A and B are shown apart, each in its own frame.
Chain A
């Protein structure tokens, strides 16, 4: 569904990605693991076309994304949940939820979204940034589900959240998988990643250094620890 090959990305003068190769198949949950600064977030931003400059190839359902105008990429059915969550302070919860335009049929209804994230129900007129961190994360995921996007890029959804909330997010992501969403997930918390992912890509210094299927995770623990430095 998504094939990234020899992807290089630059912020101004600095060369951040050095030939990233990875692939995400339809219906999979795939994680990018790695230390801070390994290039995980930049990989996501490159897919969305919001880095300074990128070269190489990113194909989504056969279409080349490099060179495409940034606002056209999400319209192919890619939803982006940024690391900083990006809840708008000048919009209330309802406005935040309905902000991203519907790009394809088959998106979830607001009612289905409330079933997935009951915390958001009845909060419509609250200012977006007055929600708790966990609720803001749910809102950031929820607003993408409405759009009919079939692939979701989730950047560190568990960062800074309490274990109870992380569990809720995990339940939600598994439900999304059951609904047929394809998910590319950036995580630092590989324990969380291990509960939901099919495969893991290891990133180091701007490229992918390894791929570990989730069922071989136990056998590769030592390798994993070296990569993540934990």
Chain B
């Protein structure tokens, strides 16, 4: 048995793994977008740029200060999160009383500025980022070869997504967050500092993007355009999963990554558009998304 459905198993599993890797990034990014949208009602167009910023912070830490991958995994999300907090405090918070479109426009403009700045200083050719020593090499699983670093990315993103889901659905802080998403005025009238929660939520959401950026640095190259390449697909993922649904964002992220991988095996020509075709179909049948609630 050397083929499955006429495809060599190496190719099939290889593409599935690639799909799972892409799915991991889709999930991490759409999770952040979903958390932010739920609480702030802002479609954060700067998400891709902040993902890129995370990768660049890791790269700059390495090349200028000699700080390696593991510290970057902690520091880059903190830097990106802090940047997000400043953005929310100084700019976004002024827009909550206006139409959602203003938040979208502002974050889109911010994305252009951040990306433009990095293009100006570092050009568009990518910078390589080495895989950390601990995760070099790979495992021969018999049916396929699994590079250690790719396995790590899948596991790390799964852990982060599950932890975030648990924090939101099962803890006290998460209950505040869910309640404030539904009725911020009443939650405020119970004595909870809702503006602070909003700032923290935005900081956390973009920190997730920063983390995804660090995870991505050794796989893709660190380039100013890495965010805008990815974010369009991620927005499609969020639309398919349902705006503001945490679980929806995560499941759709992995699911669509895998589906994209499968398409590459069976009908490569369609692999770039399969996500958008699904988005169109979902919007026709369930406008609120697979896991979304009508509001």
Contact = CB atoms under 8 A, between A and B. Distances in A.
A80 B187 CA distance: 10
Interface in B165-186: 172, 175-176, 178-179, 181-183, 185-186
Contact of B185 (A50, A72, A100): A50
Interface string B31-74: 00000000000000000000000000000000000000000000
B193 interface: yes
Given A50-B185, A82-B186, A86-B186, A99 B179 contact: yes
Interface in A67-93: 69-75, 80, 82, 86, 88-91
A70 B185 CA distance: 9
Contacts of B176: 99
Contact of B194 (A71, A98, A99): A71
Interface string B217-233: 00000000000000000
Nearest to B187: A99
A103 B179 contact: no
B192 interface: yes
B175 A70 contact: no
Interface band, chain B? 10 to 19
A103 B190 CA distance: 9
A74 B182 contact: no
Q: Is the interface of A mostly helix, strand, loop or mixed?
A: loop
B188 interface: yes
B191 interface: yes
B183 A101 contact: no
Interface residues of A, number: 24
Interface string B76-98: 00000000000000000000000
Contacts of B172: 98
Nearest to A44: B189
Pick the 4 closest A-B CB pairs, nearest first. A74-B191, A100-B190, A90-B178, A86-B186
Interface of A: 48-50, 69-75, 80, 82, 86, 88-91, 95, 98-101, 103, 147
Interface of B: 172, 175-176, 178-179, 181-183, 185-194
Given A74-B190, A99-B179, 18 more contacts: A49-B189, A50-B188, A70-B189, A71-B188, A71-B194, A74-B191, A80-B190, A82-B189, A86-B183, A86-B186, A88-B179, A89-B182, A90-B181, A91-B175, A98-B175, A99-B187, A100-B190, A101-B190
